[in-house]
């Protein structure tokens, strides 16, 4: 009989944690025991799993050893991972971390299973496998097959990122502001999750600005893409928050080392793993956030040649940030890790 694992989900009742629980069930992950963990604030609460309710336990330094946790999926913020992931590793647990904390650590693999699954084998260097930023994951899934065929040189990307990228409270802020707007009591002075009101607005700032004029979110896309693709790719990003709940969209302009044909590129992407092509402009068929909600695939459309340069392509890429951009990628890493253990 194949082995089953004790799996902890850290941040189990958060926006990403809840999706991880759904994914573990949907993908029939071999679980012996599920251990949902969160802060002391969540003690007394439960999560639904496997047809029942499981009590949330407090995340402590000793819980991984006490519960004999084999795999821990962390999504409770960077500072929580910084503090508690080392305790998990010490207890012999493999950590799959959704936060940015370990992503650029040179000994920690940063993995998108469709792009660099071989890097999972490096997990023993730190005991941790990092999950990339949500905007990076869906983008590199679309870049990889095109880079293999046409030698990608440069990416220019503008994102349209949903409020759920900033967690549950950020989604609630959008909903509350919508309700306040319709009740004629919208108060612009009190945004919490974002620097400005998000309702009826778009905000060209995600995370903090750094000295070079870019935001940390934008620089994550630059640095993580290079690490995952094992290649220096010129990349410039403008990350924008938009008033949607779920699903990040990206307008990509790609420059290649040779001429590229949009029809051939579309066929390559059609064959790529976990990519769905929605590209019938005459029928208004293209990817949009509401179509990709709750899906585990990345949707690509509006694939077209540049008007002026034969080595450039443009396209629109959309995926569910809580799934593809977080939970699905993390659980797929866990699945591959399990496969690797089986094959010795
Ligand atoms: N949202 C996305 O699209 C996305 C994508 C990729 C990565 N991520 C990353 O995933 C992490 C979580 O994001 P989220 O969107 O799920 O946030 P969220 O909805 O705010 O949920 C946060 C979760 O973390 C728990 N938590 C917070 N502080 C804790 C502590 N000190 N000890 C233990 N648990 C604690 C919370 O439990 P309590 O209620 O008990 O505090 C809750 O379960 C972040 O680092 C984020 O950057 C998010």
141 and 127 in a common domain: no
334 and 194 in a common domain: no
174 and 49 in a common domain: no
Q: Which atom of ligand 1 is nearest to the CA of 56?
A: 40
162 and 303 in a common domain: yes
192 and 98 in a common domain: no
In the block, which residue shows the tokens 């508690």? 84
pLDDT tens digits, residue range 60-84? 999 999 999 999 999 999 999 999 9
pTM above 0.95, yes or no: yes
d(CA 275, CA 141): 8
SS3 sequence of the chain: CCCCEEEEEECCCCHHHHHHHHHHHHCCCCEEEEEEEECHHHCCCEEEECCEEEECEECCCCHHHHCCCCEEEECCCHHHHHHHHHHHHHCCCEEEECCCCCCCCCCCCECCCCCCHHHHHHHHHCCEEECCCHHHHHHHHHHHHHHHHHCEEEEEEEEEECHHHHCHHHHHHHHHHHHHHHCCCCCCCCCCCCCCCCCCCCECCCCCECCCCCEHHHHHHHHHHHHHHCCCCEEEEEEEECCCCCCEEEEEEEEECCCCCHHHHHHHHHHCCCEEECCEHHHCECCCHHHHCCCCCEEEEEEEECCCCCCEEEEEEEECCCHHHHHHHHHHHHHHHHHHHHCC
pLDDT tens digits, residue range 288-312? 999 999 999 999 999 999 999 999 9
| Overall average pLDDT of the 42-55 stretch | 97
Residue 1 has pLDDT above 70, yes or no: no
What the block records as the tokens of 93 is: 């647990």
pLDDT band (50, 70, 90) for residue 342:
confident
152 and 31 in a common domain: no
Give the domain range for residue 83.
Answer: 5-132+326-342
Choose the catalytic residue: 101, 196, 230, 248.
248
274 and 189 in a common domain: yes
246 and 123 in a common domain: no
Q: Is 258 a catalytic residue?
A: no
Instruction: Tell me which residues have their CB closer than 6 angstroms to ligand 1.
Output: 11-17, 38-39, 41-42, 59, 75-78, 80, 98-99, 134, 164-165, 167-169, 321-322, 325-326
277 and 222 in a common domain: yes
Residue 188 has pLDDT above 80, yes or no: no
What does pLDDT average to over the chain? Answer: 97
Q: Which atom of ligand 1 is nearest to the CA of 169?
A: 20
pLDDT for 105 equals 98
d(CA 157, CA 315): 10
What the block records as the tokens of 292 is: 């990709």
| Overall average pLDDT of the 193-205 stretch | 96
**Nearby residues of 325 by Cβ (< 8 Å), 6 or more positions away:** 133, 134, 135, 137, 138, 165, 248, 319
295 and 330 in a common domain: no
144 and 102 in a common domain: no
CATH number where 267 lies: 3.30.360.10
Q: Is 248 a catalytic residue?
A: yes
First-residue to last-residue Cα distance in the chain: 16
pLDDT band (50, 70, 90) for residue 343:
confident
Distance between Cα 15 and ligand 1 center (Å): 7
Query: For the chain, how many structural domains are there in total?
Result: 2
107 and 140 in a common domain: no
pLDDT tens digits, residue range 252-268? 999 999 999 999 999 99
- Whether residue 248 contacts residue 159, with contact meaning beta carbons closer than 8 Å, is answered with yes
CATH number where 68 lies: 3.40.50.720
**Nearby residues of 83 by Cβ (< 8 Å), 6 or more positions away:** none
Q: Which atom of ligand 1 is nearest to the CA of 99?
A: 45
Distance between Cα 11 and ligand 1 center (Å): 5
Distance between Cα 68 and ligand 1 center (Å): 23
């Amino acid at each position: 009989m194949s082995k089953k694992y004790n799996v902890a989900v850290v941040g189990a009742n958060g926006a990403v944690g809840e999706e991880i629980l759904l994914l573990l069930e949907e993908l029939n992950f071999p679980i012996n025991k599920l251990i949902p963990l969160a802060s002391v604030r969540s003690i007394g609460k439960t999560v639904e799993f496997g047809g029942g309710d499981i009590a949330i336990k407090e995340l402590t330094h000793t819980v991984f050893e006490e519960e004999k946790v084999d795999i821990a999926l962390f999504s409770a913020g960077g500072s929580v991972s910084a503090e508690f992931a080392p305790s998990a590793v010490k207890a012999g647990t493999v950590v799959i971390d959704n936060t940015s904390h370990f992503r650029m650590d040179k000994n920690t693999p940063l993995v998108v299973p469709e792009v660099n699954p071989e890097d999972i084998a490096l997990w023993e260097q730190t005991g941790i496998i990092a999950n990339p930023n949500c905007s990076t994951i869906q983008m590199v899934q679309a870049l990889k097959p095109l880079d293999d065929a046409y030698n990608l040189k440069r990416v220019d990307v503008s994102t349209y990122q949903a409020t759920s990228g900033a967690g549950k409270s950020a989604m609630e802020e959008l909903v509350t502001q919508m309700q306040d707007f319709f009740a004629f009591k919208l108060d612009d002075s009190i945004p919490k999750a974002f620097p400005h009101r998000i309702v009826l607005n778009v905000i060209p700032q995600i995370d903090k600005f750094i000295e070079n004029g870019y935001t940390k979110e934008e620089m994550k896309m630059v640095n993580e893409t290079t690490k995952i693709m094992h290649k220096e790719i010129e990349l410039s990003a403008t990350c924008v928050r938009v008033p949607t709940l779920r699903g990040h969209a990206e307008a990509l302009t790609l420059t290649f080392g040779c001429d590229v044909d949009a029809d051939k590129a579309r066929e390559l992407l059609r064959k790529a793993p976990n990519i769905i092509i929605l590209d019938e402009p005459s029928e208004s068929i293209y990817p949009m956030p509401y179509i990709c909600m709750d899906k585990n695939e990345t949707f690509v459309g509006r694939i077209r040649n540049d008007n002026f340069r034969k080595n450039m392509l443009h396209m629109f890429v959309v995926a569910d940030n809580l799934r593809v951009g977080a939970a699905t990628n993390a659980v797929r890493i866990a699945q591959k890790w399990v496969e690797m253990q089986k094959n010795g």
